[in-house]
Structure 1
Amino acid sequence: MEQWLVGIDLGGTTTKMAFITEDGIIVHKWEIPTDTSNRGERIVAHIARSLDETLARLGGTKEQLLAIGIGAPGPVQEETGMLYEAVNLGWKHYPLKRQLEEETGLPVAVDNDANIAALGEMWKGAGGGARHLLFVTLGTGVGGGVIANGAIVRGTNGAGGEIGHMTMVADGGAPCNCGKTGCLETIASATGIVRIAGEKLAASERPSALRGGDVTAKAVFDAAKTGDALALEVVEEVTRYLGLALANAANVTNPEKIVIGGGVSKAGALLVEHVAAHFRRYAFPRVAAGAEIVLATLGNDAGVIGGAWLAKSLIGA
């Protein structure tokens, strides 16, 4: 009887789940809506029920499941698996590890969602097994994960690796959802890119393919690829700040790989080339020489695969 790890990527809209072998191969994956009503009181019960129903549908038994690794959107206390706060879920000081263990009867490991994506990319993705790795995910916000000597850097209260909240504009920066201003997230996220493009469009009458259409991060990069001058200015500004942030983070950690994921990373080579040029400008030369900047390869599977990596630690695999 083949035994499986359970990887779970808990998001504010959907929860991705998978049964995964100890070698990191996805056997079966699916997702369920995340019910955030009544401060998320039914989320864990829905996860447990979905695990049981899916297992039954596959003709499996509970004995096949070894452990669960779950990523959640917020800082996590490593020892207890408590989520300090997850605004999107309505949780505060939520004992996720304990609750999920009680509902499923399985051992559970909990970490931040960006951290498990970093672990997934390290194990089976673009990280290629690198033991020193920086991961940054560019989506609606900017998440980050730092892996040093094969282990996630969590810090004293679960907030390690918050690359997106490095202050890039010390004075007069745009407000961030975290309560600060001038964070990298206000610049390099999809929403930040749209904001910067809007400001540049409003500041002049210059012709641009972005005028009169729906301005999205994808539209900005698509226009830049055609040589649109205004779009290229936006890309240059965004990637300069991102390259600076990654250089500062890399100067502390000296990574082998810097992996860029999230929806914005679909911009591909244009994004990597610009970021890499700025990174080399700002990084300590020896750090720059040791680091390769690559695009994430696992997409939406990074979280569940990283969750399975977490689960492996519970069974000594």
Structure 2
Amino acid sequence: MPSEERELPFLSWFLKQPKTQTYMLNTERPILGMDIGGTSIKAGVLIGSQLEDIRSIPTPAQMPQDFILETIADFIQTYLHHDFYAIGIGIPGLIDVEKGIVLNLGNIPSFKKVFLKDYLQEKFNKPTFINNDANCFALGEYRFGVAQDFKHVVGITLGTGLGGGIIANGHLYCGRNCAAGEWCSVPYLENDFEEYCSSKFFISKYGAKPKALFKKAQKGDEKALLAYNEFGHHLGELIKHILYAMAPEAIVLGGSIRKAYPFFKDSMMASIATFRYPSISEDLKVLISNLDETAIHGAVALVDEYISQANPVS
């Protein structure tokens, strides 16, 4: 049997990474951040330490690839007056980070093997960095949000689906093609974790959207309270799975369902309390995102994450 002292999976990987250096965002040079989703494309510019000029447009999700690329470029064109020096983009799906290729995007059918980085850099002559949106959430919380005091962090987005992002020793860890942290597809019970740790759980098991149940739970509705209690148990089981794999210092919860945290906190913590290694679970911090535009913050931080590693500020 493994002992309490034995290193957990990936913990040794964390410890072998180079010591984290301190980086600074160049606040004198604006950065454009974008969050491209199946419903909307949202953008904002980091000026100084503030995210400004936040706007969104509908995503023409059912249109051909070329039309969508032109839509993205036209939207970026409206921000050129800010004289931003680089572009960071978060997008759901698998991505070849080095080449900036969007390999597939489920909710935009025509987006398959899209050379988005090359397209935008050729069009605007500005360095462009692309990553998974859940990774951007984790990076945004680490650089701008509630996780700034920790080096090993996992971000979990609880919404229509389930997303995960990893900060290892102060840096974003993506794995191959941004596939690290895809706990949504890990088998759980008769399905997978996304079926139990997203809005899918409430719709399939209780026949209602989480927002509606949240309002009822606030009024003391027993069925709604039961729904969130069960959800918390399943989320706690997911967090235990993450603890075995990554042993983070902190878990950050984002997405719309996080607003109901008081109703699923106790059952979630009860599940976490059954984790086999108390020295890991008892010190775990579960944090709730308080950023309104975490994905854009994370997209902006991508620029610093990749450029600053080559030019650290001492």
TM range, smaller chain: 0.7 to 0.9
Q: 2:298 aligns with which of 274, 289, 306?
A: 306
Q: 1:269 aligns with which of 241, 244, 262?
A: 262
Q: Offset at 1:272?
A: 2.8
Partner of 2:136: 116
Distance (Å, rounded) in 1 between the aligned partners of 2:148 and 2:276: 22
Q: Which amino acid aligns with 1:52?
A: Q
Q: Offset at 1:110?
A: 0.7
The answer to whether residue 277 in structure 2 is matched with residue 284 in structure 1 is yes
Q: Offset at 1:37?
A: 3.7
Call closer, same or farther: CA 1:105–1:276 in 2, change over 3 Å. same
Distance (Å, rounded) in 2 between the aligned partners of 1:87 and 1:216: 22
Distance (Å, rounded) in 1 between the aligned partners of 2:149 and 2:301: 12
Partner of 2:289: 296
Whether contact under 8 Å (1:250, 1:283) holds in the other structure is: no
Q: Give the TM-score taking structure 2 as reference length.
A: 0.83
Q: 2:176 aligns with which of 156, 163, 166?
A: 156
Q: Deviations over 1:27-85 (max 9, x none)?
A: 322112222243332233222222222333xxx4xxx3221110111011122111111
Q: Offset at 1:101?
A: 1.2
Distance (Å, rounded) in 1 between the aligned partners of 2:265 and 2:75: 39
Equivalent residues, number: 282
| Gaps in structure 1 of 5+ consecutive residues | 174-181, 199-214
Distance (Å, rounded) in 2 between the aligned partners of 1:144 and 1:311: 20
Whether contact under 8 Å (1:260, 1:296) holds in the other structure is: yes
Q: Deviations over 1:222-281 (max 9, x none)?
A: 434444443333223221111011111122222121111111111132233332222222
Query: Aligned Cα RMSD in Å?
Result: 2.0
Whether contact under 8 Å (1:44, 1:103) holds in the other structure is: no
Of residues 152-161 and 230-239 in structure 1, the stretch that sits farther from structure 2 once superposed is 230-239
Whether contact under 8 Å (2:232, 2:266) holds in the other structure is: no
Whether contact under 8 Å (1:248, 1:283) holds in the other structure is: no
Q: Which amino acid aligns with 2:79?
A: T
Call closer, same or farther: CA 1:221–1:284 in 2, change over 3 Å. farther
Q: Which amino acid aligns with 1:11?
A: G
Q: 1:81 aligns with which of 93, 96, 100?
A: 100
Q: Offset at 1:129?
A: 4.1
The answer to whether residue 40 in structure 2 is matched with residue 18 in structure 1 is no
- Percent of matched pairs sharing the same residue: 30
Partner of 1:29: 54
Q: Give the TM-score taking structure 1 as reference length.
A: 0.82
| Gaps in structure 2 of 5+ consecutive residues | 1-26
Equivalent residue of 2:85, what SS? strand
Q: Offset at 1:6?
A: 1.1
The answer to whether residue 267 in structure 2 is matched with residue 247 in structure 1 is no
Distance (Å, rounded) in 2 between the aligned partners of 1:281 and 1:259: 20
Q: 1:193 aligns with which of 190, 194, 202?
A: 202
